[in-house]
Structure 1
């Protein structure tokens, strides 16, 4: 963690708070906190990063879309699905509009949203979304792609636990 903190400090000092590398550095530090099981430290950094990305890069920039997805993931990891799901939904809508329905990142967003629906116990939305995402992943990415395998495993798991 100290290296991520040091890198962010240097980016802020040398590049300023609005530089894309500073935004990426803050995101990386938040991810490190999340991976270390410290959502209380990760979430404020993700929130600040998203706010800054929206202001500096705009709503449609790929970094902004990733930042929103990361914040949703942190909320979900902290058990706050009421905040995570709308962010996942917005990210999916924006990625579909900006990148297209078949872009690998859009497909990953659909998987993330289905996973959040499943975590919320909303299988009526999770299962069809997983099924459509798997169909599209197979068509676009092929059966051996990591995203295809993840979606397939998630669908199998949700179907086996709901039966």
Structure 2
């Protein structure tokens, strides 16, 4: 039985995000998508939709969608993170690489 987001510490979601990235890199994007989707739901409830960790998870989910050939959905999700990310990071550059990935998905790079 899956625990509610309120009962799950954010560290569990972070571990699932890392596992999901590894799964995608190993050629298992369906499994990665499932884990990222669950982590995103939990993090949005725990930390809010505009928290940097939630936004990073959304970017990873967009990468899963692209790996699954769902490019329009990947562009939409990735694009939806740009403005909140700019506000959340306040000009910090730690996410520049991921932003470039999103812009490439959207055809803006």
Tell me if TM exceeds 0.5: yes
Deviation readout 1:30-69 (Å, 9 max, x if unpaired): 1111011011111011101100100111112221011011
TM normalised by structure 2 equals 0.84
2:99 matched residue in structure 1: 110
Q: Is the 8 A contact 1:17 1:23 kept in 2?
A: no
1:56 matched residue in structure 2: 46
Give matches, 1:2-151, under 5 Å: 18-100=8-90, 102-118=91-107, 126=108, 130=109
Q: Kindly indicate which of the two structures has a greater share of residues assigned to helix.
A: 1
Distance 2:21 2:103 in 1: 22
1:155 matched residue in structure 2: none
Deviation at 1:106, TM superposition (A): 4.8
Deviation readout 1:80-118 (Å, 9 max, x if unpaired): 111111111111111112213x42145334312221134
Secondary structure in structure 2 of the residue aligned to 1:104: coil
Q: Is the 8 A contact 1:60 1:94 kept in 2?
A: yes
Secondary structure in structure 1 of the residue aligned to 2:8: coil
> Which 5+ residue runs of structure 2 have no aligned equivalent?
none
Question: How many residues end up aligned between the 2 structures?
Answer: 106
Q: RMSD between aligned alpha carbons? A: 2.1
Tell me: higher relative CO, structure 1 or 2? Use CA pairs within 8 A at least 6 residues apart.
2
Q: Is the 8 A contact 1:92 1:106 kept in 2?
A: no
Distance 1:108 1:32 in 2: 18
